[in-house]
Amino acid sequence: VRFVVKILTKKMKNLLSHLSNLKNILLTYLDGFILIISPLMILLFIVGVIALMDRTGNHQSFLRKMDQGLVTTATVSSLLHSDDSDELNIAVNFIDLLQQERFGLIKTMYYPTEIVNSIKPGDIVNIRYLEPGYESQVILNDYYANVRNYFGFAYDVIVVMVVAWGFIIIHPEFLFWGFSEEKGVKSKAGIRQ
């Protein structure tokens, strides 16, 4: 029995030692991988900031136009499911200021699900629309505050930026490139430190 225990203990020690080596090898490769992609992550983060500013600017511009928009009642004509996403749009018909019949599209991403689910074809809704010449997008006037506070346009960009930021923190060496005056400062960055 003692002999078997001794053999088993030795085998277990060998196995643990191999596993430890394997972990070190994996970490070294992972570390190298993060180092190689960190410049790409820096670029991704910068592009993310620019995209975020662009989307915020577009949303603010849309709101500024809607502030000058007109309010009327519209009839829901149909619910349109987008083919390439889960997005649901609501098509409405209304008579504009020039007494012409127009088609409008309500994007439902701004509103809570229960409000969207309560709208059926044939319903009469209060909408805010832009003068002819602008896009056909209209909004539900009773829930204008939801549109105003909407931040959903930023979620996907922020997720990408946070992931990129995590990689950059592990290996920030490229951020200091070109500006370092002290030569020979050896980086200790990396996931194994």
Partner 1 sequence: MTLNAFVLFMLGALLEIVWLWDDAHGQVGEWIQIRFLPGAFRLAQWIQGGLVVAAGLLAGIFSVFQVSKTQVSMDNPLIGMIFVAMGLFIFGAGVVADGLLPRINEQSILIVQLLVILNGVLSGALSNVWGLFFVLIFPAALALYLVWNRRPLSPLLKALIYLWYLASLLVLTFQNGSAEFFTAARLSLSDAYFSGIAFIFILLHGLFSIRFFLIVSSLILPRNRLLVAGMMPRLFADDQVPVRRFVLFGLGVLGLILLNVWLNLLPRTIMLNLAVIACVQFFFKPRP
Name the residues that contact partner 1, by CB under 8 A: 42, 45-46, 49, 165, 168-169, 172-173, 175-176, 178-182, 185, 187-189, 193
Question: Least distance in Å: CB of 169 to partner 1?
Answer: 5
- State the minimum distance, in angstroms, from the CB of residue 187 to partner 1: 6
Instruction: Please report, in angstroms and rounded to a whole number, the separation of the first and last CA atoms in the chain.
Output: 43
Q: In the numeric block, which tokens belong to residue 107?
A: 């994007």
**In this complex, which beta carbon is closest to partner 1, that of residue 83 or of residue 181?**
181
Nearer to partner 1, 85 or 193 (CB): 193
Q: How far is the CB of 160 from partner 1 (least distance, A)?
A: 14
Q: Which is nearer to partner 1, 84 or 182 (CB)?
A: 182
Contact 152, 85 (CB under 8 A): no
Question: Smaller CB distance to partner 1: residue 4 or 185?
Answer: 185
Half-sphere exposure of 110 (CA within 13 A, CB side): 21
Determine the Cα–Cα distance for residues 171 and 189; give it in Å rounded to an integer.
Answer: 6
Q: Shortest gap between Cβ of 64 and partner 1 (angstroms)?
A: 11
Which ranges constitute the DSSP H helices of 68-177? 113-118, 144-148, 155-170
User: Helices 155-170 & 2-67, crossing angle to 10 degrees?
Assistant: 140
